[in-house]
Amino acid sequence: MPKQESDSCLYQFHNCRILRDHDLVIDDLWVRDGKILDPEKLFYDEKRSADIQIDCEGNIICPGFIDVQINGAYGVDFSLNTDDVEEGVRKVAKGLLAHGVTSFCPTLVTSPVDVYHKVIPRIKKCNGSGEGAGILGLHLEGPFINREKKGAHEEQFIRAFPAGIQDVLQTYGCLDNAAIVTLAPELDNSKFVIEELCARGVHVSLGHSMADLIQGEEAVSHGACFITHLFNAMLPFHHRDPHLVGLLASQRIPIDKCIYYGLIADGIHTHPAALRIAHSIHPTGLVLVTDAISAMGLPTGVHHIGTQKISICGKRAVIAGTNTLCGSIATMNVCVKHLNKEANCGVVNSLEAATLHPASMLGITDSKGTLDFNTDADFLILNNNLDIEATYIAGEKVWDLTPLNECLNMEIIT
């Protein structure tokens, strides 16, 4: 009898183009037990054919989207809804499936210390499922930022830069559930704190900052690897000092290190020319983020971020009574399509900015962000317009554009 390594159902997705190795290749995708399999190993070791074949009708299969900066959605604000934290996270995680997000980093803006102590222990890392996208860890955006570039962050909660990691722990309470911390690298003692955070497995991002290029380069030399929403809440590019934007072209970044940068490609936060410039200079570091706030998915009106009122008008979210942007209401699939259109960078680059690049920044490409063999079977089926037809997590369909027709292209092999 042929060797059978598993009695679990073996799926074969065929008639598709798979995003793999920086290209769209015509191939089949084999899935079992929540993992992507090597078909040659299946054939030679198990002599096994698929239990179920799924015709993808020529569509694209790409890894699930990863959003590393999202403040909330669907009326939920991770920094504000502190009474029922878990339910709020579940609501957002479930809603994100329709937009192709299979993993995300819930983001806390600058908040009172008691909010950190209450919320951080309760938003735990977890795998995704039919109940919602997986949680890769928290993104703590503040409170160690520059008041001059606070953006929508409330100044009264911004804290003096800590003397060391103990001050950081006193502020946050713990770092067990943290994946990213955004801080301003020009503030005192930053290099020591960056080193300590990196040593604890937390990725340091530079943002809400008045830093010059030299200060940014020094922060990178101590372990920082990310720039929070490039162009926003930082000094603009200048030809004599390009500031943090200059990190994209710095020759002081070690050749074996990639500096990644978030871009909000919602048509509001970043001009199309700026998208094109950033992508042209440093395409492999571009990470699409939504920076979505609680009003994402809600109608026009007044809503909240942190403890502030914000106003939604059209595609813009601003602090009520001002013109200060305070986050996006765009979804990740919209950002991918906008980048593809405005930067004219091609489908592969647009998709990798929401998949491979954030996974690479977080160091999780062994499980997320690619369709390599033995990685998690978190993937999307998209049409040629990059509209999402279906979302899969661990090989399970968790969202479908046309759920009533979900079995039409499925053939059970007997």
**Could you check whether the bond before residue 236 is cis, i.e. omega within 30 degrees of 0?**
no
**52: β partners:** 11, 412
- Is a pLDDT exceeding 50 seen at residue 182? yes
CA 230 to chain centre: 14
Averaged over 300-304, what is the pLDDT?
78
pLDDT band at 152 (very low <50, low <70, confident <90, very high): confident
What pLDDT was estimated at residue 304?
A: 66
What residue type is 59 in one-letter code?
N
Report which secondary-structure segment, H or E, holds 90.
helix 85-96
Domain 65-362 in the same topology as domain 11-63+371-412: no
Q: Which residues of 326-359 are buried (b: 16+ CB within 10 A; e: fewer)?
A: bbbbbbbbbbbbbbbebbebebbbbbbbbbbbbb
Contact predicate 348/19, CB 8 Å: yes
- What distances in angstroms separate CA 2 from CA 47, 49, 203, one per listed residue? 6, 11, 46
- Whether the pLDDT of residue 218 is over 60: the answer is yes
326 is in an annotated binding site: yes
pLDDT in tens, 125-135: 999 999 999 99
Known binding residue 269? Answer is: yes
**232 annotated ligand-binding residue:** yes
| Range in 178-182, 187-191, 288-292, 377-381 the model is least confident about | 187-191
Contacts of residue 19, defined as CB under 8 A and 6 or more positions apart, other chains included, come to: 60, 61, 62, 63, 348, 351, 352, 355, 371
Distance CA 323, CA 386 (A): 32
Could you tell me which of 325, 352, 203 has the C-alpha nearest to residue 267?
Answer: 325
Side-chain-facing half-sphere of 318: CA atoms under 13 Å: 10
Tell me what the pLDDT averaged over the chain comes to: 92
Residue corresponding to tokens 């020591």: 192
pLDDT band at residue 413 using 50, 70 and 90 as cut-offs:
low
- 240 is known to lie in a ligand binding site: yes
Decide: residue 49, CB within 10 A, 0-12 exposed, 13-18 middle, 19+ buried: exposed
User: Can 23 be counted among the known catalytic residues?
Assistant: no
Confidence of residue 81 (pLDDT cuts 50, 70, 90): confident
- For 296, 307, 313, 315, the CA distances from 299, given in Å and listed in that order, are 8, 20, 9, 11
Model-level pTM?
A: 0.94
pLDDT of residue 405: 47
Is residue 20 part of an annotated ligand binding site?
Answer: no
Q: Got the DSSP string for 323-338?
A: --B--B---HHHHHHH
Confirm whether residue 276 is marked as ligand binding: no
Cβ-contact 413, 124 below 8 angstroms: no
- Tens digits of per-residue pLDDT, 337-349? 999 999 999 999 9
For residue 325, say whether it is annotated as part of any ligand binding site: yes
Q: Tokens 């001050």, residue? A: 167
| Residues whose CB falls within 8 Å of the CB of residue 214, separated by 6 or more in sequence, listed in order | none
Residues whose CB is less than 8 angstroms from the CB of residue 256 and which lie 6 or more positions away in sequence, other chains included: none
Rounded CA separation 233/325 (Å) = 10
Q: How many whole angstroms from its chain centre is CA 146?
A: 24
Give domain limits for the chain. 11-63+371-412, 65-362
- Residue-level pLDDT at 412: 58
Per-residue confidence (pLDDT) for residue 312, from 0 to 100: 85
To the nearest 10°, the Cα dihedral for 75, 77, 78, 84? Answer: -60
Q: Is it the case that residue 168 has pLDDT exceeding 80?
A: yes
For domain 11-63+371-412, give the CATH number: 2.30.40.10
Judged by average pLDDT, the poorest of 16-25, 306-315, 378-387 is 306-315
127 labeled binding residue: no
Higher pLDDT, 217 or 306: 217
pLDDT category at 408 given cuts 50, 70, 90 is very low
291, 366, 372, 400: the catalytic one is 291
Place domain 65-362 in its CATH homologous superfamily. Metal-dependent hydrolases (3.20.20.140)
Q: What is the pLDDT of residues 186-213, one digit of tens each?
A: 998 899 999 999 999 999 999 999 999 9
CB atoms within 10 A of CB 38: 13
Q: Is 406 annotated as a binding residue?
A: no
Mean pLDDT of 2-24: 84
State yes or no: 141 annotated in a binding site. Answer: yes
To the question of whether residue 16 is assigned a binding role by annotation, the answer is no
pLDDT at 358: 98
How far apart are alpha carbons 50 and 411 in whole angstroms?
Answer: 10
pLDDT at position 163: 81
**Which of 71-75, 195-199, 294-298 is predicted with the least confidence, judged by mean pLDDT?**
294-298
